[in-house]
Amino acid sequence: MKKILFIGKFNSIFQDINNYFENLFSVQICVDNIDMVKGMLKLKKPELVVISLIGISKDAEKIFDDLKYNHPRIPVICIGTEGEIGTYASSINTEQFKMLVKPIDNEKILNVICEILDVTYKDNKIIENKEEKKSILLVDDSGIQLRALNDMLKEKYAVRMATSGMQALTLIGKKKPDVILLDYEMPVCDGRMTLEMIRELEEAKDIPVVFLTGVNDKEHIEAVVKLKPAGYLLKPANADKIYETLEKIL
């Protein structure tokens, strides 16, 4: 089930919204306290945040800022009167936030949620619109790094992993990935050599390759520029930066 975090003052309006959606989604509710919100977002990152502005506390601006700067990929729906939305207009006037003006019934709110989450409401249940996931090939000699990246990406992408350049070529031959995340420092066949071999394969030469590496000296970077990688990210790269890079490519 899609995960939604509801934030707001616990009142009858907030409770009514929660009761309507709790059987359709995996709903968590949180009081409008910045420390509580930060804790909930860290504990279990939702796919959507819904904020009730009705009677919201003075922490509202801090909550908006935390979502904007620390969780920019999570869409947010703010529900309130024209006056309440006007009060916070400067804080929520970005593409991340969608404003719904009360009075609005729960069915219309559901329609907006379904659109954002790309799901369908039918026969009193939510049906996920299944699409074939884009495929990412991770190439790194570190098993720890591979597992961390896999855990980060597996919900959104079809992930395959290779611990060497030669293994990566074998996997490419079986099924061409949409993007490759490639480490630079690997034994026997390093990232530069691996990319050179990929570029020599007719069926693979156009695959976007992004370096994800701790190598940041000028000599090594210049050595791969001529091979035209699609990106060069330095470890440790945070999840938002990796997702942003992949989404731009895809």
pTM of the prediction? Answer: 0.57
Q: What is residue 86's predicted lDDT score, i.e. its pLDDT?
A: 93
Chain-centre distance for alpha carbon 16? 29
Percent of the chain with pLDDT over 70: 99
Q: Is the pLDDT of residue 157 over 70?
A: yes
Cα torsion 28, 30, 34, 35: sign: negative
Question: The sheet that has 97-101: what strands, in order across it?
Answer: 26-31, 3-8, 48-52, 76-80, 97-101
**Helices vs. strands in the chain: H and E counts, helices first:** 10, 12
Q: What is d(CA 56, CA 126) in angstroms, rounded to the nearest whole number?
A: 29
Sign, CA dihedral 37-39-42-43, equals negative
What percent of the chain has a predicted confidence (pLDDT) above 90? 43
- Rounded to the nearest 10°, the torsion over CA 71, 77, 78, 81 is 170
Rounded to an integer, the average pLDDT of 88-109 is 90
Whether the pLDDT of residue 228 is over 90: the answer is no
Instruction: Find which of 13-27, 147-161, 204-218 is predicted with most confidence, using mean pLDDT.
Output: 147-161
Residue 102 half-sphere exposure, CB side, CA atoms within 13 Å? Answer: 16
More confident residue, 163 or 131: 163
Instruction: Give the pLDDT mean for 20-34.
Output: 90
Domain boundaries, the chain: 3-128, 135-249
Q: Please state which of the ranges 57-61, 111-115, 178-182, 239-243 shows the lowest mean pLDDT.
A: 239-243
Quote the CA–CA distance of 17 and 6 in Å, as a whole number: 9
Q: What's the start-to-end Cα distance of the chain, in Å? A: 25
- Any idea which architecture 3-128 has in CATH? 3-Layer(aba) Sandwich (3.40)
What CATH superfamily is the domain 135-249?
Answer: Response regulator (3.40.50.2300)
Written as six digits, the tokens of 214 are 């701790």
Q: pLDDT-based confidence at 127, cuts 50/70/90?
A: confident
Which pLDDT belongs to residue 130?
65
Work out the angle at residue 149's Cα, subtended by the Cα atoms of residues 146 and 152, and round it to the nearest 5 degrees. Answer: 150
Residues in the chain: 250
Q: Name the nearest CA neighbour of 189 among 229, 236, 140.
A: 140
